[in-house]
Amino acid sequence: MIESNRNIELENRIEEYLDGKLSPQEVDELWAELIDNEYYLDYMKSVASLKQIGEERQKKSEEVRKEPVQRVWLSAAAAVVLMIGSAILFSLSTETSEMIKPVSTIELDYYRSADGMATESVESDVVRRAISTANTGEVGAALSLLNHELERANSEIEQAELLITSGSILYNSGQFSEAIERFENAKNLNYDDVMLRERNYWYLGNAYFQVNQIAEAKDMLEKAFEMNGAYSRVAQSYLRALSSR
């Protein structure tokens, strides 16, 4: 299990923020920290999505519990009531599986600052330009920029970031099979950036989920979970929901 990339204190503050427990000053301090942290911005979006699902599930469960229960004396009628009750319980037990869906979009804003990097590389500039281009709707042009730079990349970590960025752009444009190919290529590269690798597993799991390849999605989400980083808890929630599929 890899724990060096995990910031437990920041994760707790994100959850407190989503629960409305932070003061205005604490909220400002949290956003100041997150604005340069692409990794935990993605994490916050995922946790927020799961909290919304949980709230919807609880609301529906409470509505079921408030239904008036009539006393039925005939054995046949009682059996029918028991069958209906069992159906409701089954529906509630599988509700999370039905409600959890792959992420609709992958965050494309490039938040990493120059202060967070040892050097300002040509590759990072290309990634920023490609993301900016994709955000204006010019997906083809953005992919061309990344493909051109990919042919020139000298290291596997540069190749990985270019592949993951292009895969994210393809994912957001609904080209999930093409995105899977990019993420798979990045997965097979040899590089030491734990956070980048974990993010790729998370994206790849969601891409497989989008095309209903559930076994493959589970495999990638399991890998994200096992890395014990920022996506560990949200990946575990997805795995639990998908276990019945």
pTM for this predicted structure: 0.62
User: What is the predicted pLDDT for the residue at 52?
Assistant: 63
- Provide the residue type at 234 as one letter: V
Give the separation between CA 179 and CA 173, rounded to whole angstroms. 9
* Cα–Cα distance for residue pair 218/209, rounded to 1 Å: 8
Question: Tokens 């560990």 label which residue?
Answer: 232
Give the pLDDT band (50/70/90) at residue 94.
very low
Determine the average pLDDT of the residues in 72-80.
35
Q: Could you report how far apart the first and last alpha carbons of the chain are, in Å? A: 26
What type of residue sits at position 52? Q
CA distances in angstroms from 201 to 14, 31, 65, 158, 164, listed in the order given: 22, 26, 39, 17, 10
Angstrom distance (rounded) from CA 30 to CA 217: 32
Closest CA to 57 of 233, 241, 242: 241
Question: How many beta carbons lie within 10 A of that of residue 54, not counting itself?
Answer: 13
Averaged confidence pLDDT in the chain: 76
Structure tokens that stand for 173 in this block: 């444009």
Q: What is the pLDDT of residues 104-133, one digit of tens each?
A: 888 775 543 333 333 334 457 888 899 999
